[in-house]
Structure 1
Amino acid sequence: MTCTKVTLRKRAISKGRYSLYLDYYPGIRNPSTMKMTRRESLGIYIFQAPKNSIEQSYNKEILQKAEGIRAIRVQSLINEEFDFLDKHKLKASFLDFFYDLVLKKDQKWLMVYTHFSNFVNNQCTFEDVTINLCRRFRSYLLNANQLKHKNLKISRNSSASYFSTFRALLKIAYRDKLIPENINDFLEKIDYEDTKKEYLTLEELKQLANTPCKIPVLKSASLFASLTGLRISDILKLDWSEIILASDDGYCMRIRTEKTETETTLPLSEEALELCGTPSLGKVFKGLERTMVYQPLKKWVADAGITKNITFHCFRHTFATLQIAAGTDIYTVSKMLTHKNVSTTQIYADLVSFKKRESANKISLK
């Protein structure tokens, strides 16, 4: 195999300048287009005849940077990495890439896509995705109005959640070598504000279970979430093929979670399995739609005489707090919730106030 030599060269252009480029000999083939190339313009220039110390310093600094690029190209050729040739990738639409992912993700990804599309006026290539652009989008999220209620600001926690999703997008783009650097290394997260995590007590959950709901599948899915801790995104896509017989003759779910993309196997209680209905093909909760977890859910909760502000995600909180209250250790609850860190699960232990009282009374001098 012939080793390609990379030489930094210059070409005279207008206004007394030299344009800098790299000369490859012999030429190299772009693995995507299969075309041969000899030259790579660096898009930078130096003065042909520096008139003062400023221009001399400029020339010296630019030549050092150009030499640095040349060294990187030599290393890439040695490692047989030719990504730098695919400059047409940088001209491709970042928004199209984003939207293709949205089609595979949940509603939140669509919300973030819409905000970002508005932010960039519906035009953004991979070349446009810079640290500065992403930092400005972070600032945008902290000050933008909601999409549906245009007179209301996005909440702090929604901004944090949206930016977290955007950072996940950047991670995928970098992993797929569509952007040249891991921009997340230079971005600050948006911190979440502490909020009250609402949940149902066991008595309230039983009260809700005994209350009729106009949408049976909504009732089944909600109670299922309370017994398993599963998120709405995972319940919506839960398939009968993912419910299998375990080695202990019980049933379990073998799923890949939507939010954390975690492969996990979770046991199912007999009550949770009954809520799934008769086994068949396809989705478990057929007919369940995300729109049902808003007004229809609020109506059902109100009919049960529960005045708490209960959202579908509160059933996940309910599962966690009831498990901890029943004595299940935090590590096990963490695994059931597919949390990556036990510290995330700790907040549910803090919610169970009577467990704190029980702990306080364990030490007595009498």
Structure 2
Amino acid sequence: MESATITKVTLRQEKLRSGKLSLYLDYYPPIWNPHIKKMSRREFLGLYLIGKPKDKFELDYNEEIMLKARGIRATRELAIINEEFGFLDRTKKHADFLAYFEAKTKEKYQKWEIVYKHFKDFCNGRCLMKDVTIGLCNDFRSYILKIRVKQSGNIISRNSAAGYWSTFRALLKIAYKEGWLKENVNDYLDSIEWEDPKINYLEIEEVKRLAATPCKVEVLKRASLFACMTGLRISDILQLRWENIEMSPDGGYCMRIRTQKTKTQATLPLSDEALSYCGEPGRGMVFRGLSRAHTREPFKKWLKDAGIKKKITFHGLRHTYATLLITNGTDIYTVSKMLTHKNVATTQIYAEVISQKKRDAANSITLK
């Protein structure tokens, strides 16, 4: 493909969370990449600088890496002048897969960051594109199935493992689509089968008992009761701002949010009672001072004080909201919208829970 103008090749740096600086070449205007069959601007070199060198040794190291990077830049510029673009194919396999993974986590939700950290531990902090083979991926699959929860030391649930593995495979699919992986590794990988999840939730009387029970962390109590009445995930509650709450055309209040997990834009009605748990109106975060740590031991302690023996997490309050809606006759489609589910099939499990409750109620009547 002919180049209409002379492409400028600039050596640039991108700061990573680790503090290192990843070096890459910026092509402007973009150049034709024959491997992915489209125009391309960036080429990561797989070279890194120490972000804050502490001594002469680290300064010398940075200088040596920069010399190498400048040499590559000059070679690329000459190749472009000669209209030789094959280097893009050759260098992709030496690109840093781990850095690519880290960059993608910035575009996604929290689970991606969790999986990235597990993969980084798995590969001891180093993995190039050429290292991403079927064997490596299957080894990571086995690794995921043996991950232990730090707090309890127990192996993570089957569904957590399935979710992590699904996220990693989504990354592989994107990397292949963008031309970083030459082979669609996904075609050769087995999934981790999901188990039918057990939905743990509170009955309405238990919610009332919880509301009547004092909690040492006042903001936790308000956020929990708010979750029972809105179904919001903890990630969305932590990010909820007063600016997200406004009057709706029908005269009531609503929340305009972008969910942290699925990045879905949603406008959700807010009852006066739910709004009362938000506290005094103001600016900034609604549940100021709340942290994920509060949803663990302090939450368990509060449940125990309320005499609730069920094994339930803060996320179970979202299940509580859904089951209460369906119990009160709300149709499955509306519940799906209220939970910001992308697919009604995801909501169907709550209808099945209610069906089981009806079956249990029918079987509770006996003349024997």
Distance 2:178 2:352 in 1: 41
Distance 2:340 2:185 in 1: 27
Bigger radius of gyration:
1
Q: How far 1:239 moved relative to its partner?
A: 1.7
Indicate yes or no: 2:122 matched with 1:119: yes
What TM-score do the two structures reach when normalised by structure 1? 0.71
Contact 1:30 / 1:82 at 8 angstroms: preserved in 2?
no
Q: How far 1:111 moved relative to its partner?
A: 3.4
What fraction of aligned residue pairs are identical, expressed as a percent? 55
Distance 1:256 1:148 in 2: 30
Q: How far 1:88 moved relative to its partner?
A: 4.4
Change in 2 beyond 3 A, CA 1:211/1:33: closer
Q: How far 1:271 moved relative to its partner?
A: 1.1
1:197 aligned partner: 199
Distance 2:5 2:283 in 1: 56
Distance 1:353 1:217 in 2: 35
Q: How far 1:187 moved relative to its partner?
A: 3.8
Q: Secondary structure at the match of 2:266?
A: strand
Contact 2:234 / 2:315 at 8 angstroms: preserved in 1?
yes
Q: Secondary structure at the match of 2:314?
A: coil
Change in 2 beyond 3 A, CA 1:147/1:331: closer
Contact 2:238 / 2:287 at 8 angstroms: preserved in 1?
yes
2:101 aligned partner: 98
Distance 2:124 2:240 in 1: 36
1:7 aligned partner: none
1:339-350 counterparts in 2 under 5 A? 339-350=341-352
- Which of 273, 276, 281 in structure 2 is aligned with 1:274? 276
Contact 2:238 / 2:290 at 8 angstroms: preserved in 1?
yes
Change in 2 beyond 3 A, CA 1:178/1:242: farther
Contact 1:30 / 1:85 at 8 angstroms: preserved in 2?
no
Contact 2:27 / 2:41 at 8 angstroms: preserved in 1?
no
Q: Secondary structure at the match of 1:241?
A: helix
**Backbone CA RMSD of aligned residues:** 3.6
2:319 aligned partner: 317
Equivalent residues, number: 301
Q: How far 1:281 moved relative to its partner?
A: 1.9
Q: Secondary structure at the match of 1:91?
A: coil
Q: Which amino acid aligns with 2:124?
A: N
Contact 1:253 / 1:266 at 8 angstroms: preserved in 2?
yes
Q: How far 1:352 moved relative to its partner?
A: 1.8
Q: Secondary structure at the match of 2:342?
A: coil
Contact 2:200 / 2:316 at 8 angstroms: preserved in 1?
yes
Contact 2:219 / 2:287 at 8 angstroms: preserved in 1?
yes
Q: How far 1:303 moved relative to its partner?
A: 0.3
* Deviation by residue 1:149-198 (Cα, 9 ceiling, x = unmatched): 69643331221121123234445545665545665455443221123211
What TM-score do the two structures reach when normalised by structure 2? 0.70
Q: How far 1:28 moved relative to its partner?
A: 9.4
Indicate yes or no: 2:140 matched with 1:137: yes
